[in-house]
Structures are given as C-alpha cells and as structure tokens.
A and B are shown apart, each in its own frame.
Chain A
C-alpha cells in the first residue's frame, strides 16, 4: 500500500490543501452507502474542480498504484461506490455546473455532479424539464444516475432507464488521463446533438459501467418541454395477472405510452392487494383527458378500484424533493431487483411471497416495480434497524438475489463484493469476459473503481 502522507502531498500539489483530506473523520462519511454493506474507508478524499485536476490525480494513482473510487451524490446502494480497498475517494461535488441549456436543440449540458433537482429548477424557468429520473431525493446527481444506468418512477414508463433515450453525449476521462467524447461530440467540428453517429455507440460502453472504464466530466442530455397538465391516479387490483394486462395496455403503443410513470406496490401485510400509482403523460389537456379516460376504462375493465390520488401526488411530486417517512421504521435496503419482461413479474412476486414471507418468515419487505417501455424494474425493499439487523438483512438479501437472478431477471446495480458482483462473476458470461477485456485495455493497472463490478483477481 502506498504511503498515505506521500500521496496526500502529491494530491495537494494538484488541487491545493483545502480540497484534500486524509483525516479519519473526513473519510468516515464515505465509508457507507444506502445499503447494509460493511464500512469501507478510503485513505484520502479529494475534490477536483476540473478535468485537468482529474488527469493529475489519475497520474498519481497510476504512478503509485492507488485505486480511485468515484463519488457522486452518495445516494447509491449495493456497495457501488465504496472503497473496496484503500484508495482515493474522488468526490466530484465541485463539478456540478449547468454548462448550457439549449432550448432550440432541446439539450442540456451539465457537469456530472449537477443534481437532477438543480437542473430541473433551472429548466422549469424556461418551461422545460428532463426526461426521466429515479427517486433519490435532492442530492441525486445526473452523473451518478447515468453511470450506473439508473431507473426509477419518474418518466421511465415512457423514456426508460438512463441511457435509453436521454443521454446524447458524454465527456469521459479515461484511466490513462485521455479525454474522450462520445456521439456527435466525438467529431470536434460538430456539436452535442446526437447519440448514435460516427460508428459504435461508445456512450453505451460507459453508461451502467459504474465508473470502471472512465470518469464522466460532462454530459449532454435530451430535455423536453414541461407538461402543463398532470393527472395522477391511484388504483388497486386483486391479481398480478390483471396488473400484467394493464402493463401491456399502457405501453403497447410503443412511443406513444399512456403514462410517464407507473409504480406498483404490494405491502407484505396485504400480499393480494396490488396498488398502482400512475402519472399520466401528455402535452395538451385534451390528450391528458383522453389518456386518463382510457386508463380508467382499462382499470375498471380489469376489475380495479380507484382510490384517493393524493398518495400518488405525494409520490411523484416527492421524487426530487424527497419522499416522506422513508426511514420511519428503519433504514432502507433494496434487494431481489432487476429488469424483466412484463409477463415475468410473477416470478419475482412468487419468490417474494413464498421464499421471503412464507418460508423465511420475513414480513417486513414490500414488493414493488416500475413499468418501463415493454419491461419492468422490479424489487423488494425493507426497512431494518442498524446495526443489529444489518448482517441478517445482507444474508437474507444474498439468498433472495441468488434465487431471483436464477430466473428471467437481469441484475441492475452490480457494485462491489457485498453487491451483486459475486453473482455476475459466477455466471462468467461472454458479456462479462468481454467487459474484462475492455477493462484491461483501458485501465491496465485497474485504477478506477478497483473491485467494483469485476474482482481485482479477475483482472490480474
């Protein structure tokens, strides 16, 4: 392991003494994420303000074989950004500017730690908004969401995960310090307006890679006019088959979906009650009204019952400002999650009900899912007490993850050794082997996110 004091001195030369710390109390806040993963401390935290400073930090890391871990808003789960071994925590907090809002091209260029809330606040002043986001609250960063290929309840029923429609170009600093741009930005005399051009879509290489291939320093996103009208609905159904039929209905008109957000929730205390919260999409009142009527007709046809829509308002309105009462009964953990076909949701539901509730007797986790264009993001989520329940929850989650991912479910949010990494490694797919080849090519010393997604030993 490199000498901590020596690395501190070198980092100070790059960014100055006021943006580097190796003090224990400054490192502790980077030791945990939003999961029960064990504390993992970095040796340094450094807060760069430019890509040039990042290049300087990478040079030190490569020269002294010190891994770098990338930190956005710190709202990730699954051991995704924690220092898997002693290394530098690259806190990108200062790279949070809105570089440009182009109202004509409907693009916004931002630095990675610009939060969704900050961008939306500025966009709304011009009657604009973004396409989709997770429910990570006010500190959730755009770079963090995109680099982990996140998805959530807002806009995703129409636009899908980050990277599906909303990312146009990326500026990435590679582990060797070289700066590359993707999409139309790869052609210096053009501009930032198009994702797929020139050749292979290299943005797709970085989106969802959880930072193992490069550090994002700028992104250009698709934006859109804000909708002036909104309708939120809440309904319950009495069977999952009916929910599945409803799922097919709302996004069968591919590209012209009825909803921009649809969230399913099943409480463990009532496993046969399927609650749906819906955010109707449209730019004109007539369109909204029409869609609302069609959704109501379909829900009623399926035997659903409508209720007070206020919880749906609270849910969809709270995505950026923060959902309420989230830790009222303990801290969170998401598990048993992933992407799957609309028809396959029953597989996860069955595991939740039979394996988790009935067989293991764990009755505190709910079951949920977000509709995406032609698929689901489904999950289980529980509140638990730290520290006494942490180990039990991790063990339980590991067992359930293994069961879920043995089925028709694609993992999402891979993370480190306490995330889904061991499961991905064990499958040893061709995809995984190619990813390792690419990782070795762009990061021969395994500097970036060492131990995240791919174990260190796999890259020797």
Chain B
C-alpha cells in the first residue's frame, strides 16, 4: 500500500481535532458537507491506521470519505501546530491505493482521468476547440516563455484567458503557446489516484516542451503550476525541472513592481479577494495578488473574515466538483456568504477553478457580484479592456 510510506505520520496523529475546528462550517469543507467523524482528517488518520494494521480494507463505500476530500489543505495547515502531518499527501496515497487495489472509485473521477489521457483535456474536446480561445492572438513560437492556460482556462474562460494574454503581452512578455499540441498537465491523474500512466505522460509532456525550447512556463492555473513545479519532479525522481514554472500571481506582481504597464484608469469598485488553496496554503502566495489589487487606482480592497491560511475552500478542489457536485455546490455557497459579508461588488481570485465555482455560486444565489481574475481588473485599469466586464450582469464571450 502506498500509505505505508506515511506510516510514521499516520501514527503521529494525537487526535486533537484541530483539523475539525469549532463548527461544521468553520474550516474543513469535508466535515461541512459529509458531517461524519470519518470525514475529518483525524478520522482519516485512524482509518489509515486500520488499513495499515489490516483491520480494514479499501471498499467502494469508503470512497466517499476519501474522494470527498477537497484537498484544500486546511487540516494540514492546522496540523502544523500539532503533528505536522501531510494529510493531503496521505489522502492522495489512499486514492492511489484504491486504484491499485482495483476498488471502484467515483465514475466521474475515472472519466476525468481518462479524458485527460485520451483527449488531452478533461472536457474531452478536440484540440482545435482546445485552442479556440487564442484565435486572433499572436504568439512567438520558440520564445522560451510558454503560456500554459490549462484545461479550465482554455475551455471555460476563453475571454478571461484572452484578456490575461493581452495583458502579459502588453507588459512585454513574448509568449509562446502550444496551440493544438497543448494537453492536460496531468493533475486529474494524481487527484484520482490513477498513477499507472503518470510517469509516461509526464515524460512526454516534458519532452514536448524541451523540444520547443521552453525555458519558462507561465500559467494562471494553480493546479498546473504545482503539477509542473512539484508533481513532475516527484514523479520523475528529480529535484527540479529544467524549466522554471511561474504562476501568474507572481508575474502580475512583477508587472506592478517593475511598472511594466501603466495602471491609469480608476476602478471604483469594492473588491475582495479569495485565496486559492493551491497557491495559498500550498505555496504561501498570499501577498502578490493583494499587492496587485492595492496598486489599482480607485479600487477599494476589503478582506473576507476567512483569509490567507485560514481561507475557506471554494468547493472546486480535489476533483470533488466532478465526483460529488452537490458537496462542491454547498461549499461554494458557504464561501459566497463570506464574500457577500464584505459588501463587495467584485470578488477577485487567481485560479480558474475558484473562478468557476464562485461564479456558479453567484448565479445560483442570483447575487449581484462579479467574479473576476486579478488580471482582468488590471486590464481594465490599464485600458486594455472595457470596464463593462466589471458589471455583475455582464455576459462574457465564452
């Protein structure tokens, strides 16, 4: 079993319940949605212990407790105070154990992994459709700076992605784009435990990029960012990839700090910011997006009550949106209450999955609030895009 690698951590759980928090809706989205003690990190460590000791087997009905985790790392953050258990990695190992043991996992998880492998994107679209967002944009093949949007930005947020590229190009970045050759980063494989093909896929992806002369990857997707920066080296057994990986949060901060673009138009809006789990808790990237927002003239920035390391998940993590959509919706609704409490007109974030889930929550609640990428606000201020995109009832060209 893959969890054997984490036995020491599993036995280190002192069952303190910091991971659970003081109410169902306070920190862990899994206990918020499933309610069972077995859906807490503490419960999962005891389940893992029973698996290690041969007192329990992986079964189909256990899958909900393991695949219903949003991998948001809120528990891991709390456990830094207590036993420093990497609950996310243990959960991923448990998911992989399910697959290795041939135990059925949620069908939507397998479908997502299969589509990513077979079609090159999680939506099963054709390569031409995959690159449709880039129509009319010019890229510089072989520039060495690869813009890698990832599946969601390519397929669900064409307009946002165009705006981001326009902004980056206006700031002087010579971007390359894989076009029809772009394929999924592989995240669906490791979050669903489908590791058998992972090494082959990762090797092919890396080879393709190296052949193209890629030196730097810029991506707006925290999952893609972490895939290239963390998972690829781990799967390939190397310390670092020969390619530098940058999330747009860092690049946008660079644009502001080096004044690569002039933020000249006022954006007179009250704006809050949602911390994506995968760049926040996973990578401690909290300040860069805030710096950018605070640099936009006229923008009134307000924080949510739960922010940074204590931020609540948007509901889009861990593949739960596909595998358990009702749970995902419940979590996004809960996060929207934090947004609405700030009285903001716009919630900015910097992750396509968060943008999608929060957008769905605003539609469902018919809330007069717009979900925007930090880059879109910058683009309005820079005069690259009309301010009509700030309107809560604006319909994007997606």
Asked if A386 and B11 sit within 8 Å, CB to CB, the answer is yes
Q: Is A187 an interface residue (CB 8 A)?
A: no
Tell whether, in the assembled complex, residue B81 and residue A325 are in contact, meaning their CB atoms are under 8 Å apart: yes
B22 and A29 contacting across the interface, CB-CB below 8 Å = no
The answer to whether residues A21 and B11 also contact, given A322-B18, A324-B81 and a CB cut-off of 8 A, is no
Q: List B contacts of A327 (CB < 8 A).
A: 12-14, 16, 82-83
Which of under 10, 10 to 19, 20 to 34, or 35 or more describes the interface residues of B? 35 or more
Question: Cβ of B14 and Cβ of A74 under 8 Å apart?
Answer: no
**Assembled-state Cα–Cα distance A19/B13 (Å):** 26
Q: Is A326 an interface residue (CB 8 A)?
A: yes
Residues of A within 8 A of B55 (CB): 28
Q: A319 vs B276: C-alpha distance in the bound complex, in angstroms?
A: 29
Contact A29 B37 (CB under 8 A): yes
The answer to whether A91 touches B37 (Cβ under 8 A) is yes
Assess the A322–B81 pair: CB atoms within 8 A. Answer: yes
Q: Which residues of A contact B35 (CB under 8 A)?
A: 19, 47, 93-94
* A25 B11 Cβ-Cβ under 8 A: no
- B-chain residues with CB within 8 Å of residue A28 when the two chains form the complex: 38, 43, 46-47, 50, 55-56
A442 surroundings in chain B (CB, below 8 A): none
Q: Is the CB of B20 within 8 A of A328?
A: no
Most buried by B among A324, A327, A385: A327
In chain A between 75 and 96, which residues have their CB closer than 8 angstroms to a CB of chain B? 75, 91, 93-94, 96
Given contacts A74-B15, A322-B78, A327-B83, are A139 and B20 in contact (CB under 8 A)? Answer: yes
Given A322-B18, A326-B81, A385-B11 contact (CB < 8 Å): yes
Contact pattern, A 232-264, Cβ under 8 Å of B = 1, otherwise 0 = 000000000000000000000000000000000
Q: Are B20's CB and A138's CB within 8 A?
A: yes
A309-342 at interface with B (beta carbon < 8 Å):
320, 322-328, 330-332
Contact A328 B47, beta carbon cutoff 8 Å: no
Band of interface residues on A = 35 or more
Interface residues of B in 14-44 (CB under 8 A from A): 14-18, 20-24, 26, 35-38, 40, 42-43
The smallest beta-carbon distance between A137 and chain B, in angstroms, is 5
* Shortest distance between the CB of A369 and any CB in chain B (Å): 21
- CB B4 to nearest CB in A, in angstroms, measures 14
* Interface check B335, CB cutoff 8 A: no
With A28-B50, A322-B82, A327-B12 given, is the CB distance from A23 to B17 under 8 Å?
no
A387 CA / B55 CA spacing, docked (Å):
15
In the bound complex, what is the Cα–Cα distance between A31 and B22 (angstroms)? 21
- Given A25-B38, A26-B37, A29-B37; A34-B22 close (CB under 8 Å): no
Query: Is there contact, CB below 8 Å, between B82 and A326?
Result: yes
Residues of chain B lying within 8 A (CB to CB) of residue A417: none
* A residues near B36, Cβ cutoff 8 Å: 21, 26, 29, 45
Does chain B have a CB within 8 A of A124? no
Residues of chain A with a CB closer than 8 A to B126's CB: none
Residues from chain B with a CB closer than 8 A to the CB of A94 are 35
What are 28 A-B contacts defined by CB distance under 8 Å?
A: A25-B59, A26-B37, A28-B43, A28-B50, A28-B55, A28-B56, A29-B37, A29-B42, A31-B46, A32-B15, A45-B36, A47-B35, A74-B37, A93-B24, A93-B37, A96-B23, A116-B22, A118-B22, A138-B18, A320-B22, A322-B82, A323-B81, A325-B81, A327-B14, A328-B83, A328-B84, A332-B14, A385-B11
Give chain B's interface residues, CB within 8 Å of chain A. 11-18, 20-24, 26, 35-38, 40, 42-43, 46-47, 50, 55-56, 59, 61-62, 65, 78, 81-84
User: Given contacts A115-B23, A326-B16, could you give 14 more A-B pairs where the C-beta distance is less than 8 Å?
Assistant: A25-B59, A26-B36, A29-B42, A74-B15, A75-B16, A93-B37, A96-B23, A137-B17, A138-B26, A326-B14, A326-B82, A327-B16, A331-B12, A386-B11
